[in-house]
Amino acid sequence: METLTNDHSPRLDGAWRGLAWLTGLMATAAALAVGAVLAVFAAASLVVIVLMGAVLAGFAGLAFRARRVPRSADPSIIEARHMGGHSWVAYGWDEQPGR
């Protein structure tokens, strides 16, 4: 069985060589442009994710702060604290407004 050999190596001479170089240059430029667009898209996505996280953290901070603020400034409402079991302690029931 014979081996397949090729005595003619593919060579690009003259105008073909310049055309191949120019084609490679255009393909490289296109790859760089696509890479730049993808990098900008990835950066924009990260910025959006960070902004959403900051907004979420801000809302969480407001929620925790609202939980600590007394709910009512009405003087007719008394405060009661659970001491455990069935025990409660009420504050302000003996202070009548206007006395």
Positions of the chain with pLDDT under 70: 1, 6-13, 69-75, 92-99
pLDDT in tens, 71-81: 666 667 777 78
User: How high is the pLDDT of residue 32?
Assistant: 98
pTM score of the predicted model = 0.49
Dihedral class, residue 33 (left if φ above 0, else alpha if ψ from -120 to 50, else beta): alpha
Residues 17, 10: Cα–Cα separation, whole Å: 11
pLDDT value for 94? 65
Half-sphere exposure of residue 38: CA atoms within 13 angstroms, side-chain side:
6
